[in-house]
Amino acid sequence: MSITPVSSPHAHDHSSIYRIMRHVCFALLPCTLFGIYIFGFPALNLFLLTIGSAILFEWLCLRLMKKSTTRLQDGSAVLTGWLLAISLPPWAPWWIAVSGAFIAIVIGKQLYGGIGQNLFNPAMLARVALLISFPVQLTTWPMPQESFLDTGFLDGLAITFNLAPIPDGATGATYLGALKTELGNNASAVEFASTQVRNSDALLGFSAGSLGETSALLILLGGIWLLLMRVITWHIPLAMIGTVIGLSALFNAIDPEQYAGVSFHLLTGSLLLGAFFIATDYVTSPSGKSGQLIFGAGCGILEYVIRTWGGYPEGISFAVLFMNALTPLIDLYCRPRIYGRSLNGKPKKYNAPLADAVEQES
């Protein structure tokens, strides 16, 4: 019998990176399919192009760096492409998809050393780079359609490949964007929320927005699936959502004319998508539980601050990137307490039953 010496354990819970990625993709399916349904063929094109180019760039990088291309099978490139696609405006042109995938995979991930090494969430890095470089394309929001086929296949191709301009009537503003404009015109937040926002639409997702962010309900469904499958724990999402709820309730109570209420902040934009799918990225968030709470709360605070006082209507990607940068620091200071040691690492002290020993010594 020939046996190579190997260390214990000789058992495994059968988890793998591929399985984790598969669970996350599965959890993203409902909100993604819904987004593709209401935004039609251009959205489908964007989705396929982003993921396709993410896979292509990953493959190219692995080849160039002479790493085994079997790494592709872990599914992480697919997930990065997927997250990027659903955080883009659904009718974004092909070159946004391709350059976004390039930034995410090549600059955001492989240049750092590949999977597990990147400091920033690749999808968010790409999104922010695109937003700053191409603000027009990144803020052109089509309104939801009645049905998938409202924009035909050929029209969809024309939109994706810039062959025809997007008809003026087809676009509009997101809820968050509209609020920002209204507040700029000295309108009241409370009035805006009650007249312009239908909570049922925001909950179900019949509104303008990024490809996968519109349906709060379906995102929540996916998030619950991730929690049940133990892919993520409650710490980051709860801290993040809880912080936004707390802040929006507080400021809304102080001045409802200026500050929108809890349900508005909760159901619009990509707070839920960010809390369940983006901030929870393993590589770029703290590995300990207390660190995750701080990280989530930090994301929540920044998100609220940017939405309310910042120049952009939505701030998830900035908030997450900022907290990504703090992750190593958080990890350094939020270590779990070691068994048999106090928090500062010194051995624990008890009033030990040493009576006899002391007597013997004296």
Partner 1 sequence: MLFSLFRGGVHPDGFKELSANRRISKLPIPGRLYVPLRQHAGTEAIAIVNVGDQVLKGQLIGRAGRGLSAPIHAPTSGEVIAIEPVVAAHPSGYSTKAVIIRTDRRDQVYPQPALVDPFIQDPETLAKKVADYGIVGMGGATFPSAVKLQSAVGYEINTLIINGGECEPYLTADDRLMRERPDTIVTGSRLIQHIIKAKRVAIVIEDNKKYAIAAMRNATEPYRDVDIVVVPTRYPMGSAKQMIQVVTKKEVPAGKLSTELGVLLYNVGTAYATCECLMENKPLVSRIVTVSGGAIKQPQNVEALVGTPLSYLIEHCGGTVEEPARLLMGGPMMGLVMPSADAPLIKGAGGVLALQAHEINQTESSPCIRCGRCVSACPMGLLPLEMANRARSQDFDSASEFGLKDCILCGSCAYVCPSHIPLVHYFQYAKGEISQKNAAQKRTEYTRELSEARRVRQEKEAAAKAAAKAAKSKRRKRSATTTD
Residue 235 or 307 with smaller CB distance to partner 1: 235
Buried b (16+ CB within 10 A) or exposed e, 109-142: bbeeebbeebebbbbbbbbbbbbeebeebbebbb
The reply to whether 16 sits near partner 1 by the rule CB under 8 A is: yes
Q: Binders of partner 1 among 217-236, rule CB under 8 A? A: 233
63 is an interface residue for partner 1 by CB under 8 A: no
Measured in degrees and rounded to the nearest 5, phi and psi for residue 77 equal -65, -40
Specify the residue, 111 or 164, whose C-beta has the smaller distance to partner 1: 111
Choices 10-18, 143-151, 168-176, 318-326; region in contact with partner 1 by CB under 8 A: 10-18
- Positions 96 through 135 that interact with partner 1 (CB under 8 A): 114-117
Q: Answer yes or no whether residue 289 interacts with partner 1 by CB under 8 A.
A: yes
Give me 29's structure tokens. Answer: 């399916």
- Residue 66, interface with partner 1 (CB under 8 A)? no
Q: Which residues fall within 8 angstroms of residue 65, CB to CB, at 6 or more apart?
A: 110, 114
- Alpha helix ranges (H) inside the chain: 17-64, 76-86, 94-102, 122-133, 135-138, 153-160, 175-184, 189-196, 199-204, 216-228, 235-254, 262-267, 271-273, 289-309, 316-333, 355-361
User: Phi and psi for 7 in degrees, rounded to 5?
Assistant: -80, 155
Site string for partner 1, 306-345 (x = CB under 8 A): -----------------------------xxxxxxx----
Work out whether 287 is an interface residue with partner 1 (CB under 8 A).
yes
Q: Does 177 help bind partner 1 (rule: CB under 8 A)? A: no
Which member of 288, 301, 312, 326 binds partner 1 (CB under 8 A)?
288
Q: What are phi and psi of 198, to 5 degrees?
A: -100, 115
Other beta carbons less than 10 A from residue 338's beta carbon: 11
Asked if 239 touches partner 1 (CB under 8 A), the answer is no
Instruction: Give the CA distances from residue 345 to residues 293, 337, 338, 339, 348, in Å, rounded to whole numbers and listed in that order.
Output: 22, 8, 7, 9, 9
Q: Omega into 347 within 30° of 0, i.e. cis?
A: no
3-class DSSP state for residue 314?
coil
Assess 8 for contact with partner 1 (CB under 8 A): yes
* Closer CB to partner 1, 11 or 132, in the complex: 11
Return the range that interacts with partner 1 (CB under 8 A); candidates 44-52, 69-77, 99-107, 147-155: 69-77
Q: How many residues bind partner 1 (CB under 8 A)?
A: 51
Check binding of 352 to partner 1 (CB under 8 A): yes
Cross-strand partners of 72: none
Cβ proximity to partner 1: between 76 and 270 the closer is 76
Instruction: State the residues that interact with partner 1 by CB under 8 A.
Output: 1, 3, 5-17, 19-20, 71, 74, 76, 114-117, 233, 282-283, 285-289, 292, 335-341, 347-350, 352-357, 360
